[in-house]
Chains A and B, each alone.
Chain A
Amino acid sequence: MSAVETHAGTRVLTYAEALNEALREEMRRDARVFVMGEDVAVWGGGGVFGVTKGLVEEFGTERVRDTPISEEGIAALAVGAAMAGARPVAEFMYADFMTLAMEPIVNQAAKIRYMFGGKARVPVVFRAQEGAGRGNAAQHSQSLEAWFCHIPGLKVVTPSTPADAKGLLISAIRDDNPVVFLEHKMLYNTKGPVPAGEHTVPLGVAERKREGRHVTVVGVHTMVHKALQAAEQLAGEGIELEVIDPRTLVPFDLETIVASVRKTGRLIVTHEAYERCGIGAEIVAQVVAQAFDALDAPPVRLCAANVPIPYAASLEMAALPQVDGLVAAARGLMA
């Protein structure tokens, strides 16, 4: 299913290093690409999570631009720059801070092409990291992808592996539409094989991470990895999970998921975003509309509780979907 194009060797990189490589390669390839955001240049030599490490040394301060703490301004300037021929990559230190930038993202970037009758392009990438798991509490741990998925005109990308992080970011930068590119803070140090050189992953193509006959599990970000762990545990019981990473939420590869559900007859959708009106609700609705006849049981959503993400480890763990919950849900569907 994977539509990865590879033209060179493969090394093991972290997710952060893979993103860095994507930025570096695209900035070398296309002089119109530039990076802007809070603490992307000076801090630690390249951002709080190291994603922009070393870029200012190679490309200079015009193309690797530290900005004031002005999220609405960062987003709006990036949109204006994109309209004037640049291909900006604007970074938000935390996705939570994008709430301050919703006007230019939602009212301007997403709508300009349509409002102008197709006579404008807004090739901008809004990068941010989201998710919980390190005690950053309620204003630094949210997963807000559903906010952006709701808005026509935006594309929304959620890579879960280093290889996808690189390949999807390159595709996002080359895309002529505004792309909200959401990384996950707990994935930055995870390692995996990443093709060197030109490596793109098309937007809108899911990847089947593990094949199985009994339950389809669609996971976003960290939940892909938790689903794979649950699949390992359940394998001993003779329950096979088929794990699918949609990789991009808009456009969405419904076909791959429906094909899987037609095989398994059971569906779990899992993400770290709040359950209420999360992307899981949309995925379940679409699968039910297309493959109601194939379902042997009601689809299950395993998402963050509908509470602000709490600080204490015990509470944070309780707020997020965990491997045990996935195992129990799969057993329940098989009972």
Chain B
Amino acid sequence: MSAAVTSPPELSSAQLVDMLRMMLRIRQFEQRAIELYRDGVMRGTTHPYIGMEAVAVGACAALRRADRITSTHRGHGHCLAKGGDPRLMMAELLGRAAGYCKGKGGSMHIADVEAGILGANGIVGGGMGLATGAALATKVAGRDEVAVCFFGDGALNQGIFHEAANMAAIWGLPVVYVCENNQYAMSARADRFTSVPDPAVRAGSYGFPGLSCDGMDALAVYKTVGGAVARARAGGGPSLVVCVTYRYLGHHVGDPLNYRDKAEVEAWRTKDPIERLRAALLERRVLTAADADVMRAEVEREIDDAVAFAKASPEPDPATLAEDVYA
């Protein structure tokens, strides 16, 4: 009905400041996670979101608490941006009983269903069907929540993308597919394995809008994803938004990084999304440089607190091993 809705509401000054704070929070969280992993305090692996903060924050700024997201193996940023608690997340990273998943999930399975976070996901493309199904439930129940599915460029080539996108299209489901094109699926540069230079054109095969935006610019992401969210909420159906971004670090900590040049990384770092939003807010005078410094220090303390909380939490009792296999 309201397919014409293409612009999200203007962001207030307070919202803009919150977005910058969230981007700082994500980066600080990730930096601490990397340290904890390198120190041997964290097990498994961690997939840093550093460099991509504008995507999660810009997209989630367009969402309500009742809206739902699905995330990826690189999920900490999405979880924080949708309202996840950094203390419970950090405790989960350290495999502690106080963590979101009581230590049973770890980095790749953090979820907070009450906050609309249907989970990070260890399977590339694993969230595509889940987000589309959440949107289906919304439609069947006649509610107006929207589902946002975050996924990487690598997931574009999973079969589930085709199945889910087609079903979303034929049924007009309120789902927005947000592709974080961070240029690499592990060692594979996007143009090696994706048949078109701009994956947004794939939306054309399903008959819904495919848009691209600067994924290093939180305001551009907000505008583009927010427009798609407004359209979905108004009954206009699904969209694909490709956010062109970059992961500064490896696929995971310990990536040999033999597949890309340092010069390329440095070029992307000059487009840093946090610096960019900070500069925009200074220019708009919604923030002073001193305010920004205070904010950075506050966020550092907040993440210090999350780490302290995590470390203070006990490890799970082995007696809980078989709990929660079934409801």
Contacts and interface: CB of A to CB of B under 8 A. Distances in A.
A115 B139 contact: no
A104 B111 CA distance: 17
Given A62-B139, A83-B118, A117-B101, A76 B123 contact: no
A152 B323 CA distance: 12
B323 to A, nearest CB: 7
A120 B100 CA distance: 11
B113 A103 contact: no
B124 to A, nearest CB: 10
Interface in B155-201: 159-160, 163-164, 166-167, 170-171
Given A116-B113, A117-B101, A83 B140 contact: no
A117 B102 contact: yes
B119 A79 contact: no
Interface residues on B, range: 35 or more
A119 B101 contact: yes
B134 A117 contact: no
B104 to A, nearest CB: 5
Interface in B266-310: none
Contacts of A119: 100-101, 111-114
B182 to A, nearest CB: 23
Interface string B125-149: 0101111111111111100010100
A113 B160 contact: no
Contacts of B134: 80-81, 83-84
A254 B114 CA distance: 37
Contacts of B103: 117
B105 interface: yes
A62 B327 CA distance: 28
B163 A117 contact: no
Residue with the highest number of chain B CB atoms closer than 10 Å, among A62, A67, A108, A123: A108
Contacts of B99: 117
Interface string A45-77: 000000000000000001101011010110111
Nearest to B130: A80
Interface string B54-70: 00000000000000101
A260 B307 CA distance: 56
A2 interface: no
Contacts of A65: 171
A111 to B, nearest CB: 8
A59 to B, nearest CB: 11
Interface string A150-162: 0011010000000
B136 A77 contact: yes
Contacts of A107: 122-123, 126
B178 to A, nearest CB: 16
Contacts, number: 153
Given A118-B323, A177-B327, A67 B167 contact: yes
A114 interface: yes
Contacts of A118: 102, 323-324, 327
A86 interface: yes
Nearest to B120: A115
Contact of A72 (B114, B129, B140, B170): B129
Given A113-B324, A115-B105, A80 B111 contact: no
Contacts of A116: 100-101, 104-105, 109, 111, 113, 119
A117 B170 CA distance: 35
Interface in A185-212: none
A166 interface: no
Most chain B CB within a 10 A radius of its CB, from A72, A107, A153: A72
A73 B149 CA distance: 14
Given A72-B159, A103-B160, A117 B133 contact: no
A193 to B, nearest CB: 31
Contacts of A253: none
Contacts of A113: 324-327
Contacts of B147: 80, 84
B35 to A, nearest CB: 25
A306 B128 CA distance: 36
A85 interface: yes
Contacts of B132: 73, 76-77, 80
B327 A80 contact: no
B199 to A, nearest CB: 19
A176 interface: yes
Nearest to B171: A65
Contacts of A76: 128-130, 132-133, 160, 163-164
A117 B324 CA distance: 7
A101 to B, nearest CB: 10
A63 B136 CA distance: 10
Contact of B167 (A62, A70, A79, A152): A70
A83 B123 contact: no
Q: Which among A67, A85, A152, A176 has the highest number of chain B CB atoms within 10 Å? A: A85
Nearest to B70: A80
B131 to A, nearest CB: 6
Contacts of A247: none
A34 interface: yes
A72 B131 contact: no
A117 B100 contact: yes
A112 B127 CA distance: 12
5 contacts: A76-B133, A80-B137, A114-B104, A117-B103, A118-B324
Interface of A: 31-32, 34, 62-63, 65, 67-68, 70, 72-73, 75-86, 88, 103-104, 107-108, 112-121, 123, 152-153, 155, 175-177
* 4 residue pairs, one from A and one from B, having the closest CB atoms: A76-B129, A80-B133, A73-B163, A118-B324
